[in-house]
Structure 1
Amino acid sequence: MKKMATEIKAAQNDVPGPYSCHCLVARQMARQLTRSYDRRLRPAGISVGDFSILQFLSPGEGMTMADLGASLFMERTTLVRNLRPLTAAGLVEVSRDPQESRRHMVAITATGRHKLSEAAALWSQAQEEFEAAAGGAEADEIRRRSLAALGLMQD
């Protein structure tokens, strides 16, 4: 662990090496954040990935699988794999679009809305934990810059 801290410190000083790779650092950050949020959400029985899916579905009557995948920056096969346990738990429903039978619709159920509500306080704790570690303004800046980078890198 001490060696890794030294490597990270060197990377912060622009020393060449693996930490000069934007992708590597972003993936490491994502994995660390995922572990932290998953740990906080564990009492609700869902992961941060599950929580994110439920959040995207909660405002409306559902969305196409393609639109949900695009919103999550997730390939269809990965989305289907992530939806299976949510469907089995009765948190979401997947059905054919009545206007276009080739499209699938994904909607949050009443049980899913309840689960999202139950998990919201735990998610807030994870948010606060990250903000305390990073600093509130820095956490907001990381999010803003990440969203800007996502917008620039769209296929």
Structure 2
Amino acid sequence: MTDEALIPYDTTLFVRDHCLCLHAQRAARALARRFDDALRPLGLTNGQFSLLMALNRPEPPPMGPVAAVLAMDRTTLTAALKPLERRGLVVVGPDPRDRRGRLLRLTREGRRLLTEAFPIWQDTHAKLDAELSAVDMNTLRTGMMAIA
């Protein structure tokens, strides 16, 4: 085997500059850090905020629809719920209509924390929108939702 590259470096640069997956991953990490930093004083990550918000429904949802909204499998959702359960923010209980199923419910403390976190999310989002004023955010969101 030689040290000679099989794919020219120009191709590497092309992929770096055009790969939607790479750019989406980099953007997702940057956004996650920004929202993690903003929510840190409340002891929340951006993922935990999204999970709490996904549970903010008139009726406690089953795991399947929550996992679908968050684009995660049930095993990952179960792991993500554990620290929120330990903090008393979420209760996972049996579904009275189907004892095999589980319903997810925000506790009073979970609703209180979500109420405190939402203005932080709004402020962080407003700053981000202002920084990206040259970008059509509705088109960006529509494109991202189409991919997801």
TM-score band, normalised by shorter chain: 0.7 to 0.9
1:146 corresponds in structure 2 to 144
Structure with max Cα Rg: 2
Q: Percent of counterpart pairs with the same letter?
A: 35
Q: Which portions of structure 1, spanning 4 or more consecutive aligned residues, are displaced by more than 3 angstroms?
A: none
1:31 corresponds in structure 2 to 29
SS in 1 for 2:136: helix
TM-score by length of 1: 0.81
> Number of residue pairs matched?
136
Match of 2:18 among 1, 13, 20: 20
2:40 corresponds in structure 1 to 42
TM-score by length of 2: 0.85
In 1, the alpha carbon distance for the partners of 2:90 and 2:66 equals 12
* The structure with more helix, counted as a fraction of residues: 1
TM alignment of 1:5-154, pairs within 5 A? 16-135=14-133, 138-150=136-148
Shift of residue 149 of structure 1? 2.2
SS in 2 for 1:62: coil
In 1, the alpha carbon distance for the partners of 2:135 and 2:79 equals 35
What is the RMSD of the two structures over their aligned residues, measured on CA atoms? 1.5
SS in 2 for 1:102: strand
Shift of residue 115 of structure 1? 0.2
| Equivalent pair of 1:93/1:107 in contact (CA under 8 Å) | yes
- When residues 103 and 136 of structure 1 are mapped into structure 2, their CA distance, relative to the original with a 3 A threshold, is farther
- When residues 136 and 79 of structure 1 are mapped into structure 2, their CA distance, relative to the original with a 3 A threshold, is farther
Structure 1: unaligned runs, 5 residues or longer: 1-14, 151-155
- When residues 91 and 140 of structure 1 are mapped into structure 2, their CA distance, relative to the original with a 3 A threshold, is same
| Equivalent pair of 1:50/1:82 in contact (CA under 8 Å) | yes
